[in-house]
Amino acid sequence: MSSLVSASRQPIIRFDHASFGFPGVIALKDLTLTIDAGEFVGVIGPNGSGKTTLCKAVLGLMAPLEGHLHIFDCACEELRCHHRAKIGYLPQKGVVDRNFPVTVLETVMMGRYGAMGLFKRPGAADRKIAMEALAHVGMEGHTDTALGHLSGGQQQRVFIARALAQQPQVLLLDEPTTGLDITTQHNVLELIEHLHQELGLTVLLVTHDINMIRARVDRLILLKTRLYAAGPPTDVLRPDILRDVYGKDLVITDNDLIIVEDYHHH
Amino acid sequence: MLDLLTYDFMQRSLLAAALVGGLCSLIGVFVVLRGLAFVGAGTAHAAFAGVALAYLMGWPPLLLAILFGLVTVWISGWVEEKGTMKLDVSIGILYTTTMALAILFIGLMKTYNAEVYGYLFGNVLSVTPEELRTIAGLSVVVVGSILLFSKELYSIAFDQEMAEASGVPARRMFFLLLTLVALTVVVSLKTVGAILVFAMVLIPASTAYQLTHSLSTLTWYSLIIGIVCSVAGVLFSALWDIPSGPAIVLLSTLVFFISIVLSPKRSRRPLLAN
């Protein structure tokens, strides 16, 4: 589960008392947090807790209202296109029109465009990188298939390949398993775990599904419009913390599943 | 029919139709995919208001059409970016306001001016050599920009936020696209008129959309459909003595309905991109 990188971890994303949102509406307040190279971090929290804001901040799309955010040692406000290309991003399902008239290879090639820069045409080397990315996710046999004809799980693999085609250092995944059946959810998470280990990628995985990721991540970040808790899953997933954040009677079962207590049977 | 082709005016009209048809269908790919159809329609009416003001004041119509068109698309883009108002509402207001201005400017003219109405309804058969040169010049600018930035434009059409996140200068590209839409509309105004120009932008790309799942194939199909329908429309217009704008648009619409019937997207069997 742990990544290969452990001894000499470099901080690559640093929040220093950073607040995000719009004037008058703070979505994430006073966040101080460091993410090191090679970490596998899960980001959890109820709806409206600031998870998507955290994603936008890490992508450099939202500058802090107060405090500082450094990505790759660069202040967020000064982030350039080539910095952004180092963060591979998988948006939430539903954000992208999955029936867009585009083939699998065209989708993955788009991952190269930012890294290539303006005025350059994609060449054989870019195609090779895209094909390698497709091979990493096991979709190399579908290059000419229409994106809209793939299953939900296959589409997620293609979008992960698109992110990999950027040759990123960080993989940022916003609820990658939402809307997938349970087997596919498992397969997608296995793929992410595999990429984390094989390519040494830093992974930030935003999810609602605590049970699915708790055994896979090095560290959990629990948000509730601020950093509520951060640390190894066992430290964060304590009944008292969960109850405080989710406001429900969450219980941890004998086999470590987190479920909502059923009032009718107690 | 071959006799027709020997006339200078006919050769000019066919060339103008091919240029405008190609230009509109090419920019149409990005307009359809990025969901800017209504923005373009609004721009056409704004550009017409510019033309009406130009004739009222004795200023150059093309310049004012470009100015009005650009200001409208940029305001539209800015409103979409801010997300403070629904885009269809803001465009709806701009659309009707600029049309009201156009009617006001025409009303203020002392005499009836047939040339202004030429911009409203279009007439490709009356394109002058000078207008043809302007169309060709602006076509080079628009097509050149599309070729230069095609990968970025495809990328923002697919998903602007994902494009920006992956390092594409998405915001600048979005405003470039809006600018190219405005220029295309202005270039085409004299040929098909403010009311019909947007059909030439939307229909070829929407027709191609029915026929393929590949971005590159879609672009080629749209271009071919746009040029063929425009040239054929002009020929029908001359042969049967009917207005050129409606001939082009109605022919394109017919091809669109045929494409819906033949669309592989409506068959049940899975298919590859082509």
Assess whether pLDDT exceeds 90 at residue A247. no
Top pLDDT among A1 and A247 is at A247
Q: What is the DSSP string of A24-85?
A: TEEEEEEEEEEEETT-EEEEE--TTSSHHHHHHHHTTSS--SEEEEEETTEEGGG--HHHHT
- Chain B 230-249, CB below 8 Å of chain A: which residues? none
B130 close contact with A: CB closer than 8 A: no
Q: Searching chain B, which residue's CA lies closest to the CA of residue A108? A: B155
Residue-wise pLDDT for B119-139, tens only, equals 888 888 888 999 899 999 999
According to the model, what pLDDT value does residue A3 have?
43
Distance CA B222, CA B26 (A): 7
Closest CA of chain A from B213, distance in Å: 4
Assess whether pLDDT exceeds 50 at residue A7. no
Assess whether pLDDT exceeds 80 at residue A5. no
According to the model, what pLDDT value does residue A16 have?
95
Place B154 in a pLDDT band, splitting at 50, 70 and 90. Answer: very high
Place B274 in a pLDDT band, splitting at 50, 70 and 90. Answer: very low
- Sign of the CA dihedral with A100 first, then A106, A108, and A113 last: negative
Q: Could you tell me which residues come within 8 angstroms of residue B20 by beta carbon, excluding any fewer than 6 positions away?
A: B124, B135, B139, B187, B188, B191, B192, B200, B230
Closest CA of chain A from B102, distance in Å: 37
For B211, the token pair is: 């026929």
According to the model, what pLDDT value does residue B267 have?
61
Indicate yes or no: CB of A119 within 8 angstroms of CB of B151: no
According to the model, what pLDDT value does residue A89 have?
94
- Per the prediction, chain A carries an average pLDDT of 88
Residue-wise pLDDT for B11-36, tens only, equals 999 999 999 999 999 999 999 999 88
Identify the H or E element spanning B22. Answer: helix B8-34
Distance CA B188, CA B200 (A): 9
B213 close contact with A: CB closer than 8 A: yes
Q: Percent of chain B at pLDDT above 70? A: 96
**Residue A186: other Cβ atoms inside 10 A:** 14
Q: Average pLDDT, stretch A82-98?
A: 82
Indicate yes or no: CB of A81 within 8 angstroms of CB of B167: yes
B273 and A146 Cβ atoms separated by less than 8 Å? yes
Identity of residue B58: G
Q: Average pLDDT, stretch A81-107?
A: 85
According to the model, what pLDDT value does residue A74 have?
85
Chain B interface test: which of A52, A99, A100, A164 (most B C-beta within 10 Å): A100
> Strand, coil or helix: what is A104?
helix
- Sign of the CA dihedral with B91 first, then B43, B174, and B191 last: positive
Assess whether pLDDT exceeds 90 at residue A249. no
Residue-wise pLDDT for A176-196, tens only, equals 998 888 899 999 999 999 999
Q: Could you tell me which residues come within 8 angstroms of residue A96 by beta carbon, excluding any fewer than 6 positions away?
A: A159, B158, B159, B162
Q: Average pLDDT, stretch A12-18?
A: 94
Identity of residue A86: K
A110 close contact with B: CB closer than 8 A: yes
- DSSP for residue A1: -
Find chain A residues with C-beta within 8 A of B213's C-beta: 101-103, 146-149
Distance CA B19, CA B124 (A): 11
Distance CA A109, CA A72 (A): 24
Question: Cα–Cα–Cα angle for A82, A85, A87, nearest 5°?
Answer: 130
A93 close contact with B: CB closer than 8 A: no
Find chain A residues with C-beta within 8 A of B214's C-beta: 101-103, 106, 144, 146
Q: Is the pTM of this model over 0.95?
A: no
Indicate yes or no: CB of A166 within 8 angstroms of CB of B155: no
Q: Searching chain B, which residue's CA lies closest to the CA of residue A167? A: B166
According to the model, what pLDDT value does residue A142 have?
95
A118 close contact with B: CB closer than 8 A: yes
- Sign of the CA dihedral with A215 first, then A219, A222, and A225 last: negative
B81 close contact with A: CB closer than 8 A: no
Place A1 in a pLDDT band, splitting at 50, 70 and 90. Answer: very low
Indicate yes or no: CB of A146 within 8 angstroms of CB of B162: no
Q: Average pLDDT, stretch B50-69?
A: 94
B24 and B41 Cβ atoms separated by less than 8 Å? no
**What's the per-residue H, E or C state across A132-151?**
HHHHHCCCHHHCCEEHHHCC
Identify the H or E element spanning A21. Answer: strand A11-22
**What's the per-residue H, E or C state across A35-51?**
EECCCEEEEECCCCCCH
Q: Could you tell me which residues come within 8 angstroms of residue B45 by beta carbon, excluding any fewer than 6 positions away?
A: B95, B98, B99, B102, B194
Place A266 in a pLDDT band, splitting at 50, 70 and 90. Answer: very low
B48 close contact with A: CB closer than 8 A: no
Distance CA B187, CA A113 (A): 30
Place B204 in a pLDDT band, splitting at 50, 70 and 90. Answer: very high
Q: What is the DSSP string of B95-145?
A: HHHHHHHHHHHHHH-SS--HHHHHHHH--GGG--HHHHHHHHHHHHHHHHH
Q: Searching chain A, which residue's CA lies closest to the CA of residue B270? A: A149
